[in-house]
């Protein structure tokens, strides 16, 4: 995926730590089986098996297979945990401790940061 041209929205989210408007992204209400990859570099980030409807308007996942990095984010006057792509360092969204059992995590991710591939996850 090296050299892929990002849309203006993808660039804003991935490179400028932007956030899309809730309920506006193409994957918030998406239910196909497959894998979600970084729109910037193609790294595998999430599986549809871990996706759930959080009611927030953003795609939400209970876990990641390990292709993300988490770091403290004190922007916007809040204390949150930012989620970035471990390969290209693109901003994906945030993770919150209010997800479903058993892990209790809610990875709240911008659709603009994701590309979907139908079917079983492949590396």
Write the DSSP assignment of 54-89 as a string of letters.
-SSSS-EES--SS-EEEEEE-GGG--EEEEEETTT-
Residue 69 exposure: Cα atoms within 13 Å on the Cβ side: 11
Model pTM? Answer: 0.90
C-alpha span between 115 and 42 (Å, rounded) = 8
Determine the pLDDT at residue 65. Answer: 82
Tokens for 120, please give them. 């079983």
Question: Residue 31's pLDDT is what?
Answer: 95
108 is catalytic: yes
Domains of the chain with CATH codes: 8-117 (2.170.150.20)
Give the model's pLDDT for residue 3.
Answer: 54
Catalytic residue among 38, 41, 85, 108: 108
For 56-73, the pLDDT digits (tens) are 999 999 998 878 999 988
In the chain, which stretches have pLDDT less than 50? 1, 121-123
Q: How far apart are CA 40 and CA 62, in angstroms?
A: 22
């Amino acid at each position: 995926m090296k050299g892929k041209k990002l849309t203006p929205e993808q660039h804003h989210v991935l490179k400028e730590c932007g956030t899309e408007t809730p309920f506006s992204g193409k994957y918030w209400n998406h239910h196909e089986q497959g894998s979600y990859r970084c729109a910037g570099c193609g790294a595998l980030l999430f599986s549809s098996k871990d996706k759930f409807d959080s009611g927030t308007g953003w795609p939400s996942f209970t876990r990641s297979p390990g292709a993300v990095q988490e770091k403290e984010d004190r922007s916007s006057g809040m204390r949150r945990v930012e989620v970035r792509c471990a390969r290209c360092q693109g901003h994906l969204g945030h993770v919150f401790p209010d997800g479903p059992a058993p892990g209790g995590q809610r990875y709240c991710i911008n659709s603009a940061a994701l590309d979907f591939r139908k079917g079983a996850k492949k590396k």
